[in-house]
Structure 1
């Protein structure tokens, strides 16, 4: 284990398992880190700023570094050099970082952290001249995360000041080197519009840079963390009007080498005079318990919440009623959990003709409410948000709940299931919302805006509003830009109004 102490400008101390090492001879902090990574290619490196060297729990940091595909940093996220402005040009869950739990994000800090030398050695020191250590670490995470690097922020409870000064030149340079160039123009607009900042010099200076194109490979990992000898799991399936499709799902589960302890089926039919059409549940012999609940209340959120109250097993498999799986599907899940030691995992749910070419486990921006497995401890304080019933975003919201409780969502692309997209049944029945007959329809959907206001940052919401403004322009009939501008303001205001009412319903 290499300890790399620095003062923000240069390395100050270097130890290897407690033994003092010769300091690197390079003249910049970034080059010194590269020199150390080259000298000790098979070691893990902990970087520590001298200002906190005697004031943080290094064992806590090391305990969270599970394998060589991990990258951790510790600090006050508000002091990170890209925060909060990077939210204007970055969508997704990795920017709204929780300060209470370990949280998945590529926003690294130079306060303290840990990474494998084999990760650093895949980058070129020549690309990082005249940048800070925090810039480099964040670049590594930003490039590595979509290719299989697991990046996390660890909260720092001690009061602190930014160790890396914030400046717009670094912000624009980072955007140009890691995003499409057009995003730097949008960022210039956002800073002028919302921050009263005319950053033309920083914007123009950054244009001399090019976007990084680095193919990242995951270093050699452990074969497994532990062995699950008996993968104990229950299955949750909401269903509506898909009698035959659901039966096929149950048959597929019955063919698994490792059978579920229980399958919870929540059948829905809004017709008050209707009865269950799933007679085969009681008339057939199944190799597992089927807990069948029938309700006249429709909605996937309610159905899944009912089912989650009924599960008892260590693991919970969330399914749709129109999927098909191979006989080794459950064995593949157990193997993946052994290899990753995670508590929430989403699989590749493929429609006809789709293929998944990715192989590495990934930190996932989404969550599949019909193609995931979660540990029972994750759902103790998680429910599908009933405000989003019959709308959109309930699965993404559930994923955000998991992350804010300290559980990352990992995507396993090598585990496949077929999604038939059944032409009958499901939740296609029309639901009339209160705003359905308004002369000006809300844009975006109030459910989407509710979800974004609940889970994303102020800057992300403003960035989303502007990008939606441009995207929607080409999908609607008003082509006069001034007329469209006025229309969009009214449509956004309508969505804001209804999303506020949805939020009020959530607290009542």
Structure 2
């Protein structure tokens, strides 16, 4: 392990390899960072702000760095970007829960680290970046998109400040936006500054708008072997399936589970039928299955409620969240378990596509959502978690559940090579059209109150503001009011109606 100790990002104070102090390196911290990676490509490089030398929890480094494609930092007193990054980025990685191990590309120079083999992948593109904090965030932002696992790890420090100081200037924010997002985001950032902060940083926009953009730059980690040092032995699996009115598709799912090379120990089927006089369509529970089937019948409809009921019955070490209209090969559960062990993760989001749908994402990576019908989860991490019934029959319940996991320190990883086919069977989705009470009011809320509930729970204030601005901008061409002033007044009324309904369903 290499320790790079620096003085407030300005120059190198000392360098240690294990307990031996190294000499002969430049005082320039970024030049030394690259040189250390070249000289010690098999080591992990730990950066430490000089004032934090006695505030390090050394035992935590071994726990956090459990494979070679991990980058972490701990914001003890400072972080680079403030919440203003939310005007550009509405993903969960940009709204950090600082109290837990949280997936994020937002890096601090206080304490952190990365393996040198991963650092070297970025030298060709980033060696001209002179600001060390900007460089760390650049590596994490681009790296995360291509399979680098990036985290805020509070356990790296013994003590932390109650409030953080943010170092990035407005020009840094605009520069980073134009370099690591689509160019249009820079214009959105300017508009949000003008609308919400009453600031007009045109000089920052002009001075950074022509900088090189890295949005589509490829980083290849294929030659870095990922093998987590975490120990996992129990491969018992329960499967949970909410279903309504599709017995033939459910039967096919059970047949696919029957063929698994790693069999589940129990399949929990929660069947719903709103007709109070109805009986079950599930007439094959007594068939010859190599696993226990636990069948629950309820007249209360809703996938959120059904999954909550099923989660109470889980007893295995792992849970496969399964839809009732998917098909999959016989090695899916085995591959999901082995990949969870390989990457040392507790949640694996499988690749669920319709037939002939193009696979857009080709790398194992940290994932911004959660698939409530296509995920493999370590059941210990599901304790005390529930799908939010305020989001029933709406949108966002799976993303909200993913946020609950992240806020408990659980990362969600997408795996492109473990595939499931989503049939999108007839009577899919909500099965029957549900008329929401707000759809019969004037003005009709925009966005949907369930979406509003999700963003109010899980977005920072700048993220909510940017979401609002982008929503209004995109919706303008799809509606009839073309007078911009009238449109703005109308949309503000619809936004406020959505907020009012969100309060109602949240308190229901």
TM-score band by shorter chain is: over 0.9
Give 1:53-452 correspondences, 5 Å limit: 53-76=53-76, 79-124=78-123, 127=126, 129=128, 131-155=130-154, 157-159=159-161, 165-212=167-214, 213-218=216-221, 220-223=224-227, 225=229, 231-282=235-286, 284-356=287-359, 358-424=361-427, 427-452=430-455
Separation of aligned partners in 1, 2:138 and 2:385: 33
Q: Deviations over 1:393-437 (max 9, x none)?
A: 000000000000010011111100111010135523122222121
Q: Deviations over 1:301-351 (max 9, x none)?
A: 000000000110010110000011111111111221121111111100110
Q: Deviations over 1:340-399 (max 9, x none)?
A: 111111100110111436443210001000000111111102110011011110000000
Separation of aligned partners in 1, 2:284 and 2:226: 45
8 Å CA contact retained: 2:446, 2:491? yes
8 Å CA contact retained: 1:31, 1:125? no
Separation of aligned partners in 2, 1:227 and 1:35: 34
Residues 161, 293 of structure 1: CA spacing in aligned structure 2 closer, same or farther, 3 A cutoff? closer
Shift of 1:259: 1.4
Separation of aligned partners in 2, 1:76 and 1:197: 30
Of stretches 133-142 and 54-63 in structure 1, the one that deviates more from structure 2 is 54-63
Of stretches 342-351 and 331-340 in structure 1, the one that deviates more from structure 2 is 331-340
Residues 491, 222 of structure 1: CA spacing in aligned structure 2 closer, same or farther, 3 A cutoff? closer
Q: TM-score, normalised by structure 1?
A: 0.95
Q: Deviations over 1:444-482 (max 9, x none)?
A: 000001000101101000000000001111222222322
Separation of aligned partners in 2, 1:194 and 1:164: 19
Q: TM-score, normalised by structure 2?
A: 0.95
Of stretches 395-404 and 188-197 in structure 1, the one that deviates more from structure 2 is 188-197
Where does the alignment leave 5 or more consecutive residues of structure 1 unmatched? none
Shift of 1:277: 1.1
What SS class does the counterpart of residue 459 from structure 1 fall into?
Answer: helix
8 Å CA contact retained: 1:132, 1:164? no
Residues 499, 161 of structure 1: CA spacing in aligned structure 2 closer, same or farther, 3 A cutoff? closer
Residues 169, 224 of structure 1: CA spacing in aligned structure 2 closer, same or farther, 3 A cutoff? closer
Which of 476, 479, 504 in structure 1 is aligned with 2:479?
A: 476
Shift of 1:120: 1.6
Separation of aligned partners in 1, 2:60 and 2:228: 21
Separation of aligned partners in 2, 1:90 and 1:402: 20
Residues 134, 105 of structure 1: CA spacing in aligned structure 2 closer, same or farther, 3 A cutoff? same
Separation of aligned partners in 2, 1:224 and 1:154: 17
Separation of aligned partners in 1, 2:360 and 2:38: 32
Shift of 1:291: 0.5
Q: Deviations over 1:117-171 (max 9, x none)?
A: 1222122377454642111000000000010000000225422786773311111
Residues 249, 84 of structure 1: CA spacing in aligned structure 2 closer, same or farther, 3 A cutoff? same
Separation of aligned partners in 2, 1:265 and 1:346: 21
Quick check: 1:502 aligned with 2:502? no
What SS class does the counterpart of residue 121 from structure 1 fall into?
Answer: helix
Separation of aligned partners in 2, 1:386 and 1:162: 35
Shift of 1:228: 5.8
Shift of 1:502: 1.9
Shift of 1:193: 2.1
What SS class does the counterpart of residue 346 from structure 1 fall into?
Answer: strand
Give the length in aligned residue pairs: 502
8 Å CA contact retained: 2:236, 2:317? yes
Q: CA RMSD in A?
A: 1.9
Residues 343, 193 of structure 1: CA spacing in aligned structure 2 closer, same or farther, 3 A cutoff? same
Residues 126, 318 of structure 1: CA spacing in aligned structure 2 closer, same or farther, 3 A cutoff? closer
Residues 226, 10 of structure 1: CA spacing in aligned structure 2 closer, same or farther, 3 A cutoff? closer
Of stretches 331-340 and 441-450 in structure 1, the one that deviates more from structure 2 is 331-340
Q: Deviations over 1:247-304 (max 9, x none)?
A: 000011111122111100000000111000111113x121111100111000000000
Residues 130, 223 of structure 1: CA spacing in aligned structure 2 closer, same or farther, 3 A cutoff? closer
